Amino acid sequence: MDDSEIFQAIGEDGFERLVAAFYRQIPGDDLLGPMYPPDDLDGAEQRLRDFLVGRFGGPSRYIEQRGHPRLRMRHAPFVIDAAARNRWVELMSRALEETQLPREVELALRPFFEGVATMMMNARS
Ligand code: HEM
């Protein structure tokens, strides 16, 4: 499936459910929990959701509100080693299982998340 067809296939609702399922796991996660702003988890959830919606063919709210994503730069304040990268991918993988998106959407999103997560690494374990 083409990236730009994904929003058409799952809509706001699909991305909302996926990102909510991801963020539900964050506060209780020993590795990632402490990295995220405890008083602005809703904001963080919205930023990831808007980014994904725009990236996969939906409205470009993220760029309108935050500008160019520059994801590596925006992740520079956090120490992201292989363990943190793998944990992020694991939580997103669980969120994908829980959300039960169409199979071809899941098959396109998994390698995308894994690839971007690898690019975010900025520290050795
Ligand atoms: C590799 C492990 C990763 C870790 C530990 C991590 C951690 C974080 C943290 C702590 C934030 C700040 C939360 C906030 O206030 O917005 C953040 C923001 C964000 N992350 Fe990640 N992240 C990872 C991977 C990814 C991946 C794979 C993506 C995209 C597919 C992504 C997309 C974003 C976006 C869009 C933001 C909001 C940036 C902004 O506008 O400020 N992250 N991440």
Non-local (6+) Cβ contacts of 115 within 8 A are none
Looking at the domain assignment, is residue 13 inside a domain? yes
Q: CATH number for the domain including 27?
A: 1.10.490.10
Based on the structure, what is the number of domains in the chain? 1
Looking at the domain assignment, is residue 86 inside a domain? yes
Residue ID of nearest Cα to ligand 1 atom 23: 117
**pLDDT tens column, 37-94:** 999 999 999 999 999 999 999 999 999 999 999 999 999 999 999 999 999 999 999 9
User: In terms of residue numbers, what domain contains 111?
Assistant: 3-119
Angstrom distance (rounded) from CA 48 to CA 66: 11
**pLDDT tens column, 81-94:** 999 999 999 999 99
Looking at the domain assignment, is residue 124 inside a domain? no
Residue 75 Cα to ligand 1 middle (Å)? 6
Looking at the domain assignment, is residue 88 inside a domain? yes
DSSP string, 22-66: HHHTSTT-TTTGGGS-GGGHHHHHHHHHHHHHHHTTS--HHHHHH
Ligand 1 interacting residues, C-beta cut-off 6 A: 32, 35-37, 40, 44, 47-48, 51, 66, 71, 74-75, 78, 80, 84-85, 88, 113, 116-117, 120
pLDDT on residue 121: 98
Looking at the domain assignment, is residue 7 inside a domain? yes
**pLDDT tens column, 19-35:** 999 999 999 999 999 99
